[in-house]
Structure 1
Amino acid sequence: MRNRLATAAALSTALFGAGALLGAPAADAGDAVAAVPAAHAVPAAPAAGARPAADTTHFDVTLGNTYTRGTLTWSNRSFHLVGEHKSVSATSCRGTTAFAVKADNHDAASASSKNNVCGKSDAFDFWLTVDVAGIDVVRVCLDNGATTPPLTYLKCVRYSRP
């Protein structure tokens, strides 16, 4: 009986931490203690409200023959946008802007591509960093590619976290 209690205490300590099995005697140095196979170990529970490390969403904001398309990668407090934008006229440029939208429908932060295009298409890659957690909506806009403010947002589409 003493061996079974010692084994139970050791198993309980391995799985649940010290003191989890109350009333069991401590194992003596000479008692046999069975190892807990990894297959029977209890995995750690995820933190409350935890999300997968990185969800992705494909976005496409098209206006006539111009567009911004790509992938939005969701992280806890930042968003990575990688894609391509296109302009068909050398005098009508295009760029991409993204806004992190809070639950109250107000913008928390925004970021824009640095390489606007005029009469061609080109790749972009930029980050949108937010000072608050829990952003579940990002608005991606095709803009006029202005190099000085203000930008004109020609068309925007909202994307929700998957």
Structure 2
Amino acid sequence: MQTHLAAALGSVVLTAGTLLAAPAAGAQASAYPTTAYAPVTVGNTWTKGTITWYNRSVAVVGTHKSVSAAGPAYCRRTWAYTYDANGARLGSAGSVAADTACGTTKNFSSFVVPADVVGGAAFVRVCLDDGNLTDLLCSRPYARP
């Protein structure tokens, strides 16, 4: 009798442990929302890509184009600004120097723009800059999805 009781108790403990350790059916990490931003165009140059919305920052990745390598004023980089719900600027950041397009079309690495407030950025503007980091034209504000 003691053997059967011990075996039954062991079986119950193993089953309970398995059930407690198993993840809930259908449970998975939620993805962060993304927004494709329309091309920001100045003449024959542009930037286009995607914004990924995180809790206290956004990431921007994409492609920019320059048609001339005649100097920094003709090169292109991408820059972005984050804003809170009241329109106050939270942060800014841009593509790295190594990703500058001069007389070419170039993919730029993802860069992170801070938005260190509860809930993160409410809006983002993406700008096409020259090689001197002067904003040439900025997008309309994109609202957090």
The gaps in structure 1 that reach 5 residues or longer are 1-42, 44-51
Q: Which residue of 2 aligns with 1:122?
A: 106
Q: Which has the higher contact order (CA 8 A, sep 6+)?
A: 2
The 4+ residue runs of structure 1 with deviation greater than 2 A are none
The gaps in structure 2 that reach 5 residues or longer are 1-23, 25-29
1:160 and 2:143 are equivalent in the alignment = yes
Give, as a single letter, the amino acid of the residue that structure 2 aligns with 1:58. A
**Counterpart among 17, 35, 42 of residue 63 in structure 1:** 42
Question: How far apart, CA to CA, are the structure 1 residues paired with 2:31 and 2:82?
Answer: 18
Cα deviation for residue 155 of structure 1 reads 0.6
TM-score normalised per structure 2:
0.69
Q: Equivalent residues in 2 for 1:52-131 (5 A)?
A: 53-59=31-37, 60-91=39-70, 92-114=74-96, 115-124=99-108, 125-131=110-116
Q: CA RMSD in A?
A: 1.9
Q: Deviations over 1:84-140 (max 9, x none)?
A: 011001120110001001222121100010021111111112111222123210010
TM-score normalised per structure 1:
0.62
Question: Identity of counterpart residues, as a percentage?
Answer: 49
Of Structure 1 and Structure 2, the greater strand share is in 2
1:144 and 2:135 are equivalent in the alignment = no
Q: Is the 8 A contact 1:96 1:145 kept in 2?
A: no
Give, as a single letter, the amino acid of the residue that structure 2 aligns with 1:105. G
**Number of residue pairs aligned between Structure 1 and Structure 2:** 110
Give, as a single letter, the amino acid of the residue that structure 2 aligns with 1:129. P
Of Structure 1 and Structure 2, the greater helix share is in 2
Question: How far apart, CA to CA, are the structure 2 residues paired with 1:129 and 1:119?
Answer: 30
